[in-house]
Amino acid sequence: MAYVHRENQYGDDKVFDACGLFGLIDTSGQRHNGGRVVTALCNMKERGNGLGAGYAGYGIYPELADYYAFHTMCTDDHARMQLDVFLREHFAVMHDEPIPSRQVEGILDPPVVWRYFLAPQPGHLGGRTEEDYVVAQVMHVNSTMTGAFIVSSGKDMGIFKGVGHPDQIAEFYQVDDYDGYLWSAHTRFPTNTPGWWGGAHPFGLLDWSVVHNGEISSYGTNRRFLEMHDYLCTMSTDTEVMAYAADFLMRRHGLSPEMAARVMASTFWDKMAYLSEREQKIQRAIRQTYAPLLMNGPFAIIVARNGEMMGLDDRIHLRPMAAGAKDDVLYVSSELAAIHLIEPDIQYVWTPEGGEAVIGRLGVKPPIPESLLQLHQHYAQEVSHG
């Protein structure tokens, strides 16, 4: 599972302008085949160069939905056996097996990929919640165990990622064998980090997954703050801080996605005067409390967890993001063409403002901007009147 550099026509490791994101959530809970997402992501293949691609699916393990699904990758069988011993000491293993995969032309030096379905040992929690216990074990493995990595650890979800183009990674993991109500996907041009299997996107912790286009120039500040709260950044990617920040803000501190978006992409100070007095108080409190988690630099991200998906880009919209909706399905993508490709009859499309979160939730119709609804209503009236 060594670092791999190939198909880079620019001859360097620092390319700023690409990465492709795609996500969908069916708010009715209906599951969609992973092949649809593969088709959408492959439509943006030029945004990657074979140094990383991946998929996160939710609702893919309905028969084992009560257990934590650990997707793991190891450099060899010896490292996997060491990981196996550790997991059996700290969890009840309900089921484990290799993650189904196949040989794919162009996939170089793949790791050993294995999945476990686990329940924490009650006597081991030591007063912690199950989630905090799982986080602690994931941090321990990823920071101390040579050649072994836990890439996702949530219930009824899993991350499938590696070094390759989107079609190659999808074929390697047989992504079209899975059905989920929520998917996110990523094809990658590395910016500041090498291409390697564990560092590909999505990046996950518990049931969080994050895909990211851009560069987090505040990474050092973000990382130091998160490490003060027991998160260890070990995976050689700036996206790692996004996943940990999501867990810290929304799970541990109970912020809504809307509030978390205000932390990561806060309103500029000189824009505050245009907000209501109440909103100004909220924004100031957020900036004062969570200043180290403001994400500086150009970025567009999709953050997902069970039952929820959020698209967000930086405050001045330096990375592209398009949104679309049809019936119960919300789409977020780096390019509108990818949405049109798999949903030719899309009803609504729009471009979110910089720092504006687009949030889809199970049981709630996709959030269509009011101005767009009014425009469609006006157009329908004109058509009806001839």
Cα four-point dihedral sign 293, 191, 53, 181: positive
Helix 257-264, helix 277-290: angle, nearest 10: 70
For 216-242, give the DSSP string.
-TTHHHHHHHHHHTT----SS-TTHHH
The alpha carbon torsion through 210, 167, 307, 363 (nearest 10 deg) reads 140
Active site residue 74: no
- Those residues with Cβ within 8 angstroms of residue 92's Cβ, 6 or more apart along the chain or in another chain: 118, 119, 120, 121
Cis geometry, peptide bond prior to residue 202 (ω within 30 degrees of 0): yes
Say if CB 119 and CB 91 are below 8 A apart.
yes
Say if CB 228 and CB 175 are below 8 A apart.
no
- Give the C-alpha separation, 359 to 303, whole Å: 9
Catalytic residue among 19, 42, 74, 233: 19
For 127-264, where are the E strands, in sequence order?
Answer: 148-152, 157-162, 179-180, 182-187, 203-205, 208-214
Task: Please give the C-alpha separations between residue 269 and each of 149, 280, 352, 374, in angstroms, as whole numbers.
Answer: 40, 10, 21, 31
Q: What is the set of active-site residues?
A: 19
